[in-house]
Amino acid sequence: MPLNKTTEVVSKPRITPEGKAQADSKAQQPRQVVSISRGRQRRHRVSDGVMNPLMWLDDDARRRQVETPPDETAFFGYERIRAREKTDRVVRHFNSVAQVYDFMNSLLSFGIHHAWKRESVRMLNLRPGEPHGRVVIYDINRAMIEAGLHKVQGGPLAGVIRHVQGDAEQISFPDQSFDAALVGFGIRNVTRMPLGFAEMHRVLKPGGQLMCLEFSRPVWPLFRWLYDAYSFYMMPFLGELIAGSRTAYTHLPESIRMFPLPDELADMLRGVGFSRVSYRRFTNGIAVAHLAVK
Ligand SMILES: C[S@@+](CC[C@H](N)C(=O)[O-])C[C@H]1O[C@@H](n2cnc3c(N)ncnc32)[C@H](O)[C@@H]1O
């Protein structure tokens, strides 16, 4: 894997649900206030900016800090569910396909996904890091991480690549840690996409690049019709036959059709603070690579 340029990191305070809601609408950073605790200054993120520095939170405010608002919803494929349930559903979904994930990708895409990924990485124009480049593979699902370990272990990049299990909505690295961030077919699964992008923006150094590779809608109507037929008949059939899960491979085409179109995704990236946003379609737009700069 030619990604040999990366960075360093630290953990950050938990983002409140209110902060997440803000990220949804333009991904503003929650304002920070300083409160005094045991003689030390600590930074707290609050969404409304109205917080007495010496005050304990009341029951309601404490609960709101750790809960997703009950009325917040998200889509899991075509199904509208409560937002707080989506991440669990996504984790269970990938648990069920982790062992066959790569094989199914190659089968269903006739191997083309390798070319899309190679080309996306090439577009980042990465150069070797100084003195040693580092790469972090960050994924919420342990089974998916474990399924890919064999590609790294014992290889020349074993000392360069680290695996970290965590949620993209709360990346456990400090601000301005990385030169580049890549998300391949992952952002579609994140419950609050703008928040995921805002987190990637946060951990990038100024001038750092984001590459987002995702599925999208084919441009030519006839090709789209064929692709739709293939997606909703062939994919679930092969999913059941080979991966043992028709549901997982019904969710896949559904989630693709719920995903923002390229211009909409470009607007979302600009909304969280990225600039110089551009995109390139692959295979008539089945996949699209967005490139953006912090
Ligand atoms: C479709 S797979 C893509 C895997 C790989 N990047 C590829 O291109 O083949 C989506 C991946 O995103 C991960 N994922 C989903 N939601 C996530 C989240 N909130 N935070 C981090 N990873 C997440 C899943 O566990 C899964 O491994």
When the pLDDT of each residue in the chain is averaged and rounded to a whole number, the result is: 82
Which residues fall within 8 angstroms of residue 62, CB to CB, at 6 or more apart?
none
Quote the percentage of the chain above a pLDDT of 90: 60
Ligand 1 atom 6 nearest Cα: 184
Q: Higher model confidence: residue 19 or residue 70?
A: 70
Full set of structural domains in the chain with CATH: 7-293 (3.40.50.150)
Q: Higher model confidence: residue 75 or residue 291?
A: 291
pLDDT bucket at 211, cuts 50 / 70 / 90: very high
C-alpha 46 to ligand 1 mean position (Å): 29
pLDDT given at position 26? 38
**Ligand 1 pocket test target in 3, 95, 137, 144 with most atoms within 8 Å of CB:** 144
> Where do runs of H (alpha helix) occur along 98-187?
101-108, 112-124, 142-148
pLDDT given at position 245? 87
- Given a contact cutoff of 8 angstroms between Cβ atoms, the answer to whether 176 and 207 are in contact is no
Distance CA 56, CA 237 (A): 56
Of 212, 208, 189, 196, which is closest to residue 288 (Cα–Cα)? 212
The pTM for the full model equals: 0.78
C-alpha 131 to ligand 1 mean position (Å): 29
Region of poorest pLDDT, from 70-84, 114-128, 210-224: 70-84
Sign of CA dihedral 163, 168, 172, 178: positive
Decide: 231 in ligand 1 pocket, CB within 6 A: no
- The yes-or-no verdict on residue 18 having pLDDT over 70 is no
- The amino acid at 63: R
pLDDT given at position 11? 33
Classify residue 30 by its DSSP letter.
P
Decide: 139 in ligand 1 pocket, CB within 6 A: yes
pLDDT given at position 34? 28
- pLDDT tens digits, 158-198: 888 999 999 999 999 999 999 999 999 999 999 999 999 99
Length of the chain: 294
Decide: 116 in ligand 1 pocket, CB within 6 A: no
pLDDT given at position 36? 27
Decide: 199 in ligand 1 pocket, CB within 6 A: no
- Given a contact cutoff of 8 angstroms between Cβ atoms, the answer to whether 174 and 11 are in contact is yes
C-alpha 140 to ligand 1 mean position (Å): 7
Distance CA 226, CA 105 (A): 18
- Mean pLDDT, residues 201-219: 96
Distance CA 109, CA 234 (A): 12
